[in-house]
Amino acid sequence: MPGGSRALPDRPNLRYLRLEAKRRLAAGEFATLHDAQTAIAREHGAQLPEIERPPVPSPVANAVKVMYLGAATSILGIIVDILTVNATKSAIERRSHKLTVSQVDAAQHALIVGFIVGGLVGAAAWIFIARNCRGGKNWARITGTVLFAIATIDTTSASPPRWPARSSSGASWSGWSG
């Protein structure tokens, strides 16, 4: 009944109104339960103020941009890792003479899958955290800060590998022990 006005009975049944809101939400009339409840209240003549969300603070907006940049970097890392996988395969062949051709190929395929999955998970995590940070969730700001610190420490303090394979999507050095 959008747009109409209905009078509340002398003794309104709040349970009925809650069920009506849930029914209308399930019918797809509203996106959230809050929207359905607000509409029903307005239909019954409630004068509810329009709540405006305050603007996102500038430091938070900048942090969100950096998080989106982190997601883009994760995707770029996948591309770089895949383009350099042949060098990694050559290094595996040089370091591990006991491996057969099929074992080296299997290692190369596993690396490619790992690069893709690691990069996509990293990108998805940054996007998820950025959206929640922009939405005002404090846990997202804390989580983003901690993950950024861990990635920075991991990247700057990693010991060089024995052969040139760096997983930029997984943010960790990978190497064969042999």
- Model pLDDT for residues 56-96, shown as the tens digit of each residue: 899 999 999 999 998 999 999 899 988 888 888 888 888 88
Based on the fold, state whether residues 22 and 3 are members of the same structural domain. Answer: yes
Per-residue pLDDT, 178: 37
Element (H or E) spanning 127, and its range? helix 101-134
Looking at the structure, do residues 65 and 145 belong to the same domain, yes or no? yes
Name the pTM for this structure: 0.59
Cβ-based burial of 166 (10 A; exposed 0-12, middle 13-18, buried ≥19): buried
Asked if 159 and 136 sit in the same domain, the reply is: yes
Type of residue numbered 54: P
Same domain, 81 and 148: yes
**Does position 21 have pLDDT exceeding 80, yes or no?**
yes
The reply to whether 62 and 146 lie within a common domain is: yes
What pLDDT band is residue 50 in, cutting at 50, 70 and 90? confident
What pLDDT, on the 0 to 100 scale, is given for residue 163?
46
pLDDT at res. 156? 82
Q: How many CB atoms are closer than 10 A to CB 164?
A: 12
24 or 164, which is more confident? 24
Instruction: Find the mean pLDDT for residues 92-119.
Output: 88
Task: Give residues with Cβ within 8 angstroms of 109, minimum separation 6.
Answer: none
**90's tokens:** 């050559």
Q: How far apart are CA 37 and CA 75, in angstroms?
A: 41
Q: What is the mean pLDDT of the chain?
A: 81
**Phi, psi torsion values for 166, nearest 5 degrees:** -120, 120
99 and 65 share a domain? yes
60 Ramachandran zone, left/alpha/beta (phi>0; psi -120 to 50): alpha
Same domain for 80 and 33 = no
What sign has the CA pseudo-torsion 146, 149, 151, 154? negative
| Phi, then psi, of 136 in degrees rounded to 5 | 90, 15
- Structural domains in the chain (count): 2
- pLDDT score, position 174: 41
Residue 164 has pLDDT above 70, yes or no: no
Residue 75: the pLDDT is: 93
Q: Are residues 160 and 79 located together in one domain of the fold?
A: yes
**pLDDT digits 0-9 by tens, 129-146:** 999 998 888 899 999 999
Q: Where do we find the tokens 């109104």?
A: 17
Domain assignment of residue 14, given as a range: 1-52
pLDDT for 15 equals: 86
Residues 12 and 38 in one domain: yes
Residues 131 and 95 in one domain: yes
